[in-house]
Structure 1
Amino acid sequence: MEEEFHVVDLETRHLVPRAEGLLERLPRDRFTHELQRSVVESNSRPYVRLEDLGQDLTALRRTVVQAADGLGLGIVAAGTVPLVDPAALKISPDRRYEKMLEDYQLLTREQLICGAQVHVDVADRDVAVEVAHRVARWLPPLLALSASSPYWMGADSGYASSRTLVWQRWPTTGPVRRFSSAAEYDQMVADLVRSGVISDPGMIYFDVRPSAHVSTVEMRMCDACPRVEDVVLLAGLFRAMVMRELEDIENEGPVQPEVPMELVRAATWRSARSGLEGALVDPADGEPRPAAEVIRRMLDGLRPQLEATGDWEAVTTLAGYALGRGSSADRQRQIIAHGGTFADVVDRLVAVTRSDGWQAEFGGPTPRLSTELLEDYQAVQDEAVIEGFVREPYQPVFQVLDKLGAAELCRREGVRDAYLRESGMTFSLDEPEATSSERRMPVDMVPRLIAGDDWAKISEGMPQRVRALSAFLNDVYGRREAINDRVLPAWIVDESPGYRAAGRRVHDDAIRCSVAGLDVARDGAGRWVVLEDNLRVPSGIGYAVGNRRMAVHTLPELDRGGVLDPEGSAALLREALLAASPAAGPVLGVVTSGPRDPAYYEHRTLAEEMDAVLAEPGDLAVRDGAVYAAGRRVDVLYRRIDEDDLLDGPIGPALLDAVERGTLTLANAPGNGVADDKSLYRYVPRLIDYYLGERPLLANVPTYLCRDPADCEQVLDRLSELVVKPVDGYGGQGVLIGERASAAELAEARERIIAEPARWVAQETIALSTHPTFDGERMRPHAVDLRGFVFMGERPVVPPVALTRVAPAGSMIVNSSQGGGAKDTWLFREAV
């Protein structure tokens, strides 16, 4: 969202050219100047959730209002303000704006208007051009919802949106016609620039357009809105409209007839004239109907898209509020009708603009600054804090933490450490013997909250990937049909460090992956993407359950109502492991490398809770084709040791013979490493389509294979922008984050890639979301990701447990082996 705000003098209530001084007090990355010196513009960050957008917009308004308060200024979010002295106003000191004044004269001088622009991500520019045309007919009702400019130059214009009349005087406004491609659209823009009518592509002011600088479709039709919730409503509706057109294009439905521009212009005029208080032109059939009926019919038509994004309830609630209140234009006129003055109108607009309406509308408390623990908290993409204010779902947590205070939290950390020590919840660092140490698993005091709708998406998307990867494993160790059908090249398998001949000795109908761990991350927009698939020896289940037990013991004051209970996850794991065995009443064993293993706590804990035999390789024996662990026959061996360490040892050949005969199920099966190879990751969306006939539910990170010459050239050119990983790496080993690497580290990585390109992949850098982490005095933002689990038994099961991994301060690598920690993770049953 981009929101424009008028700057008014609180004494005279007139627009004043003081935006420049105000901008000096505002963050440059969030606020900018506009054509007129009486206007400032804010820019939200991109978001998936409307709740996040609403909180960001509220925080931005609060920021500009607080800056204005110290200057005796007021901030107004509306299309126009009634009190204006054009002679006192000047354009912003910008060479481009000065050229516009010279060329357009009156249009420039009278550009005393403010709008609200919505950007929706559409990556393909050809598609964006088509969507911009298709969506144009549906936009006029949104203008009616936003109408807030009845007064122009000290008089009632007779329109709900006089801003629209002023805006449409520019030569490049209105709806956009259909173009066959982005190239044709760009040529039109170039022709307009060459004609001299406009000076640059930024002067394309169509009601909706493919953005000139980002990969979005941008709506520019609406007035600025005094209430944040109306801006959020416009954003939710416009995104749903774009989604509907994208779905129609993707489904290759009947070619849509070209939208009649004359009707769209007429409908736009009608909305500007009437607002919500008269008839509008129904976009569906062109018939005039009462505004409320048009809006409700529009909502019904967008219901599939609004439900898909989880916005249906919020958008219908906000639309009901808007229709109940009527347009801002009408409310402004009511002030005058009841004997008020234009000064009263401005005062009311200033008051509404500065209110925390977004929170109030949904019954939540106003976000408040956690003054002690969050002092100097600086984070751009934080899950709990936005612009220094605690997000609403986290407020109950921080109320408890603030009440305890830093000193008490330090004392509680001592309670935590004692609990970890007594329970043996440790993680051994892989360091030289002289410095090796067994440390307590660092578990932070601040829980991480995963909303119910987010967890539902993750829980649906993870099994899909594991089902496809399981099918891939059966295929590549069998008929290799995916390779024969050219879904992926043969070298992906044949040259994979994880491909093992032992994998061909597993029965065709065996469950090769009983336990999978998927690492997902939330980017700054709130999108969940998969970072890695782990189908070899994924760890973390025991630690995630242990984190909850520790947290309940350490901070019993926190209200965990509505949060899923991770207890019982070990029982679900046991069911999945035993389901992999054809034996009647199978016995389960867990094989570990012993107490020196970094994750031995988890091995021991899971074995105890699953009633399984815990054994080291030296405790295994094979007699008469049967496998024994610590003297007890076992049918399923849950492998918590690298397969090479197990199968290359003395007992290895006999174990493989038992696997081939079917008297032993090895979980996870040998050779699974080919499925979580970093090179294969790029092809997982194709495998989902090939094996399942489905669209991926969770997104991949764009990945480049250095083995491919074209990809390698791009990687070497953009090394400082990408994340480089070894194809067989795990635990964060060998990872280089280009934007944080030194010149020497980049040079060394370049040499390694050139020497052995097949060993490396690179990915676009995902800016991991951050989370408040207590450092002994206050909170500091640390990068986090999330490891979820899928158990493959009779059917895929996602246990109610996930491990939040926390990177050390200043790092983006979250792995425990690299010094990372963890958090208690609250998975909500319903949205928070």
Structure 2
Amino acid sequence: MTGPPLLGAEEEFHVVDLTTRRSAPEVDALLARLDGAEFAPELQRSLVETNTPVCATLDDLRHHLRRLRARLEEVAEPLGLGVVAAGTVPLADEGDAISAGARYERMQHEYQLLVSEQHICGAQVHVDVPDRDVAVQVVRRVAPYLPTLLAISASSPYWRGRDSGYASFRSMVWSRWPTAGPPGHVETAADYDAMVAELIASGTISDPGMVYFDIRPSAHLPTVELRVCDACPQVDDVVLIAGLFRALVGRARADLDAGLPLPASRHELLRAASWRAARSGLEGDLVDLVGPSLVSPPLLIGQLVDHLRPQLEELGDWEQVLELSQATLARGSAAARQRRAFGRRGEFTDVVDALLAHTQGRTPVVEPPTTVPVSPALLGAYRPAAFDEAVSEGGTVLPHYGFLFRALERMGPRGMVAAEGALRAEQRARGVTFRLGDGEQDRLFPLDLVPRIVTAEDWAGLAAGLEQRVRALEAFVRDVYGERRIVADGVVPASVVDHAPGWTWLGTLAPADAVRIAVAGIDLVRDRADHWVVLEDNLRVPSGIGYAITSRRLIRSVMPDLEPPAGVVGLEPVPQTLRSALLSAADPPDPDGAALLTSGPADSAYYEHRLLAEQMGVPLVTPRELSVTDDGVFLPGAGAARRLSTLYRRLDERTLMTARGAEGRLIGRAVGALVARGRVALLNALGNGVADDKLVYAYVPDMVGYYLGEKVLLDNVPTYPCVDPDRRAEVLDRLDELVLKPVDGYGGQGIVIGPHAGAGELAEVSAAIRANPAGWVAQDLVELSTHPTFTGDGLEPRAVDLRAFVAQSHTGGEPRIEVLPAALSRVAPAGSMIVNSSRGGGAKDTWVLR
């Protein structure tokens, strides 16, 4: 065989009535107008199959796939029919007529309901191999990668007018056949033929064509057939799968020629990985059989494409497959797109219309969303006291939440209780925990079922304001550890800087051009629809990014039908953005010299540390594992010690200063000296706390004007520094109206909310302010917006804030700022406005709409 292996594809399509959008058993009318071997009937008369000619290139395959789809539509439309490429269609009747023929009639008699419910469509790809012995070997070697291809193809969330909860329910229907699933453990063509003969002799199947393995050698030709995939609405998804499959066949042949052993994956684990792919599609974690472990689809698919690069380059497919894989991940699975179409109005006809358009490569016509009445079951007692982000004052659900409440209405309270139980089980299985304090036991991270939505317009305004704020704070930190111009010019009083709890001599060690604030966590609240304000800046070791990523995965896992019509900005690129920020701190960037530094399992956010290190592909290290010398920071290992040039610091300065290294010596000052000499970079920089206490916060708007010369885009909450005599007098006169905060407080500790406090508590805070004015600030009370939160038997309005994350990195010597979409909404307990986890608060997944 010379040149690249030839390939071809078979696609199955649903025939639907264009008036009712229901499946239509009219394939005979179509086939009567079609000629040649490129079109064929399927088991049911509402399905039709196409067969491409053999192709040498992916471009040829794409051309024929489009040509055959166009020909089907050309013939079907005058008959009032359409064709849909998808694993299932939502509007199908059980027991559609079976196609004529003795083989189909025998199957109907033998398999009964399996045949009546075989209203499913798949896509199959064929690739040439030299002979059938090679084909059997290739089948075994490629099998472990097939769940990933299934996830790419997943396009069948709906079954008989309801959401199945799966991305590929076709797989569940298909798996009921006695020979469906991973291939058998045979190694030669003779072994394979003997196995088929035994199956026929057992009466389980009647011919070799009924061996429905996920991948199989052809019964008559030297090819291998991929059979695991759903039919795909997008032609490009078929082309991507074909390109990956041909490269996998090439890799398997190379491994065979090299004498490598067959993979040892358990048959049961292959089935489990396929089930997970059918459940999740591209919207939830998939099984990496090396481990095994759950990983995100972008990571698994990216690893697969990289693994196959030599074969793809040899075939001339590398650039095309890389581009197609990135495009598929960006738009999500076809199952998710169907759920988005359904979410706009709750109509299955919209899903079918979108599938009809996608099958022919057209953009669907989008109908506007409809209003949603309040559900008596879920919102009967819903009475928000402040601005609510989902429900209007008149009691109607706001339009951009319509899809969500339609889905919750279908679930009802009992369904939500079940989903909450599944959520907690997933959290326990994945170890999603945090710790309130020293000596406390780990507890499940409190995550609510109902996601919070931030519209694209809101996010654009927030992103601009957050970027501006971090630029100003970065300039301030550099300045106060250097020339102190802002103090000399009287914009910020010297006492504010000098007495700031976060000021430390360690802040003077960072090189002048270093990015000080690599990761900022900015807490925001809103008191009306068009008004967000900053509540607090966190510039030291802000936590929450990992919990935001995990929250998305968990919610999608237990409630896959919550798919917004506009789509949600994905969180998959976030770890790579953090990695880029980490690597950019070294000159030149050193991919092998980065690590995440944690104090270890005792840290309340250790789960997040572990997750982010895994996702960024860097080691997770504790001070005890480090060897610190005059030459640098080293991570001892089996071979030569690895020098670490950049550390993503997730422990506070005090812990670092008292930490002991691998040799048992204190390492904090030695690390500081290396920072000063440019031998190691710490992200975030030491000393950042000078810019994020509650007194300095009051001057951030002035920093924006002073350093940037710009108008402030995000307001502060009006703040009164008690160190100022005039402001202190006003505060003491208005204690029962204001929120009183200790400057060095964290986690909501020490806060007194005047309108909610008793006379004794106000008297105590008054005495504390008089005794130490510099230790207190006061703020006007902001009524936090509320959001529907599930409480076990219904939804209640709970106060929420938003922690948004901003990353900075060096790009060409200049800081590059990016607002991450991995925002974390925090939820206060009933009757409270304090959202911190340490005070009983919880969290929500936050969906930034595209």
Q: TM-score, normalised by structure 1?
A: 0.55
761, 770, 773: which is aligned to 1:745?
A: 761
Residue 677 (structure 2) pairs with residue 661 (structure 1)? yes
How far, CA to CA, are the matches of 2:635 and 2:735 in structure 1? 49
Q: Aligned residue for 2:707?
A: 691
519, 524, 534: which is aligned to 2:528?
A: 524
Q: Aligned residue for 2:632?
A: 626
Q: Aligned residue for 1:456?
A: 460
The code of the aligned residue for 2:653 comes to E
- Structure 2 counterparts to residues 290-309 of structure 1, below 5 A: none
The code of the aligned residue for 1:596 comes to A
The code of the aligned residue for 1:575 comes to S
- Superposed CA deviations along residues 316-360 of structure 1, whole A, max 9, x for unmatched, are xxxxxxxxxxxxxxxxxxxxxxxxxxxxxxxxxxxxxxxxxxxxx
The code of the aligned residue for 2:745 comes to G
Residue 428 (structure 2) pairs with residue 425 (structure 1)? no
Deviation at 1:626, TM superposition (A): 1.0
Deviation at 1:630, TM superposition (A): 5.5
The code of the aligned residue for 1:410 comes to V
On the 8 A contact 2:539/2:684 being kept in 1, the answer is yes
Q: Aligned residue for 2:567?
A: 562
On the 8 A contact 1:514/1:580 being kept in 2, the answer is no
Residue 771 (structure 2) pairs with residue 765 (structure 1)? no
Relative distance call for 1:748 and 1:512 in structure 2 (3 A) is: same
Deviation at 1:364, TM superposition (A): 4.5
Q: Aligned residue for 1:645?
A: 655
On the 8 A contact 2:628/2:634 being kept in 1, the answer is yes
Q: Aligned residue for 1:811?
A: 832
On the 8 A contact 1:679/1:705 being kept in 2, the answer is yes
On the 8 A contact 1:427/1:438 being kept in 2, the answer is yes
Relative distance call for 1:602 and 1:534 in structure 2 (3 A) is: same
On the 8 A contact 2:369/2:402 being kept in 1, the answer is no
Q: Flag structure 1 segments of 5+ consecutive residues without an equivalent.
A: 1-361
The code of the aligned residue for 1:396 comes to F
Residue 724 (structure 2) pairs with residue 708 (structure 1)? yes
Residue 413 (structure 2) pairs with residue 403 (structure 1)? no
The code of the aligned residue for 2:652 comes to D
Relative distance call for 1:704 and 1:766 in structure 2 (3 A) is: same
The code of the aligned residue for 2:435 comes to S
Residue 528 (structure 2) pairs with residue 507 (structure 1)? no
Deviation at 1:588, TM superposition (A): 1.1
Deviation at 1:708, TM superposition (A): 0.9
On the 8 A contact 1:445/1:823 being kept in 2, the answer is yes
How far, CA to CA, are the matches of 2:730 and 2:782 in structure 1? 18
Q: TM-score, normalised by structure 2?
A: 0.54
Count of residues paired in the alignment: 465
Q: Aligned residue for 1:152?
A: none
How far, CA to CA, are the matches of 1:777 and 1:660 in structure 2? 57
Residue 604 (structure 2) pairs with residue 588 (structure 1)? no
Q: Aligned residue for 1:551?
A: 555
The code of the aligned residue for 1:539 comes to S
Residue 821 (structure 2) pairs with residue 800 (structure 1)? yes
535, 538, 541: which is aligned to 2:539?
A: 535
399, 409, 415: which is aligned to 1:392?
A: 399
- Superposed CA deviations along residues 190-240 of structure 1, whole A, max 9, x for unmatched, are xxxxxxxxxxxxxxxxxxxxxxxxxxxxxxxxxxxxxxxxxxxxxxxxxxx
Residue 379 (structure 2) pairs with residue 379 (structure 1)? no
On the 8 A contact 1:591/1:638 being kept in 2, the answer is yes
How far, CA to CA, are the matches of 1:826 and 1:499 in structure 2? 36
Relative distance call for 1:446 and 1:583 in structure 2 (3 A) is: same
CA RMSD in angstroms comes to 1.4
801, 804, 826: which is aligned to 2:847?
A: 826
- Superposed CA deviations along residues 576-607 of structure 1, whole A, max 9, x for unmatched, are 12112224425211111211211111000001
The code of the aligned residue for 2:455 comes to A
Deviation at 1:804, TM superposition (A): 0.5
Relative distance call for 1:618 and 1:765 in structure 2 (3 A) is: same
The code of the aligned residue for 2:747 comes to G
How far, CA to CA, are the matches of 1:710 and 1:591 in structure 2? 44
Moved over 6 A (4+): none
On the 8 A contact 2:525/2:802 being kept in 1, the answer is yes
The code of the aligned residue for 1:761 comes to V
Deviation at 1:624, TM superposition (A): 3.8
- Secondary structure, aligned partner of 1:733: coil
Q: Aligned residue for 1:732?
A: 748
- Superposed CA deviations along residues 250-269 of structure 1, whole A, max 9, x for unmatched, are xxxxxxxxxxxxxxxxxxxx
560, 563, 579: which is aligned to 2:584?
A: 579
Residue 445 (structure 2) pairs with residue 441 (structure 1)? yes
604, 609, 620: which is aligned to 1:598?
A: 604
How far, CA to CA, are the matches of 1:740 and 1:664 in structure 2? 48
How far, CA to CA, are the matches of 1:580 and 1:520 in structure 2? 28
On the 8 A contact 1:615/1:630 being kept in 2, the answer is no
- Secondary structure, aligned partner of 2:613: helix
Deviation at 1:363, TM superposition (A): 5.1
Deviation at 1:658, TM superposition (A): 0.6
Q: Aligned residue for 1:483?
A: 487
The code of the aligned residue for 2:656 comes to L
- Superposed CA deviations along residues 466-524 of structure 1, whole A, max 9, x for unmatched, are 11111111111111111111111111111111100111111111111110011111113
Deviation at 1:719, TM superposition (A): 1.0
On the 8 A contact 2:719/2:778 being kept in 1, the answer is yes
How far, CA to CA, are the matches of 2:610 and 2:501 in structure 1? 29
Q: Aligned residue for 2:307?
A: none
Deviation at 1:620, TM superposition (A): 2.1
On the 8 A contact 1:541/1:801 being kept in 2, the answer is yes
Relative distance call for 1:584 and 1:399 in structure 2 (3 A) is: closer
Q: Aligned residue for 2:127?
A: none
On the 8 A contact 1:591/1:641 being kept in 2, the answer is yes
How far, CA to CA, are the matches of 1:628 and 1:746 in structure 2? 53
720, 731, 736: which is aligned to 2:736?
A: 720
State the percentage of identical aligned residues. Answer: 52
On the 8 A contact 2:378/2:412 being kept in 1, the answer is yes
- Secondary structure, aligned partner of 1:745: helix
How far, CA to CA, are the matches of 1:629 and 1:373 in structure 2? 54
How far, CA to CA, are the matches of 2:521 and 2:753 in structure 1? 23
Deviates more, 1:556-565 or 1:502-511: 556-565
- Structure 2 counterparts to residues 334-345 of structure 1, below 5 A: none
- Structure 2 counterparts to residues 7-156 of structure 1, below 5 A: none
- Secondary structure, aligned partner of 1:734: coil
- Secondary structure, aligned partner of 2:383: coil
Deviation at 1:700, TM superposition (A): 0.9
- Secondary structure, aligned partner of 2:542: coil
The code of the aligned residue for 2:521 comes to G
How far, CA to CA, are the matches of 1:744 and 1:630 in structure 2? 57
On the 8 A contact 2:629/2:670 being kept in 1, the answer is no
- Secondary structure, aligned partner of 2:465: helix
The code of the aligned residue for 1:464 comes to Q
How far, CA to CA, are the matches of 1:706 and 1:500 in structure 2? 23
On the 8 A contact 1:406/1:776 being kept in 2, the answer is yes
How far, CA to CA, are the matches of 1:584 and 1:567 in structure 2? 22
Q: Aligned residue for 1:6?
A: none
Q: Aligned residue for 1:610?
A: 616
How far, CA to CA, are the matches of 2:630 and 2:503 in structure 1? 30
Deviation at 1:775, TM superposition (A): 0.4
Q: Flag structure 2 segments of 5+ consecutive residues without an equivalent.
A: 1-366, 660-665, 811-815
